[in-house]
Amino acid sequence: ISFLNQAENISLKKIKIIAENISLKKIKIIIIFKMALIRYSNILLTSLRASANLSWRFSTNAFK
């Protein structure tokens, strides 16, 4: 009986560790994904601003 209990405890601990590892990996992936998204949106915003500035300059130069 005690041996069976020990085996169950060990397998439960293993399952817990595996579950924790999986959730940590998921969290890491989510964080990396969010950081990538933020970077990408920042790059998009800066490029949009740059193109808007350029087009505005061209239009003001054309009207002068």
Domain boundaries, the chain: 1-63
In the three-class reduction of DSSP (H, G, I as helix; E, B as strand; rest coil), residue 1 is classed as coil
Torsion of Cα atoms, 19 then 20 then 24 then 26, to 10°: 20
Q: What does each of the 64 residues of the chain score in pLDDT, given as a tens digit? A: 677 788 888 888 998 999 999 999 999 999 999 999 999 999 999 999 988 888 878 777 766 5
pLDDT in the model for residue 53: 86
Dihedral pair phi/psi, residue 35, rounded to 5°: -60, -40
Q: Could you tell me the two tokens for 23?
A: 């959730």
pLDDT in the model for residue 28: 93
Outline where the chain has alpha helix (H).
2-63
pLDDT in the model for residue 59: 76
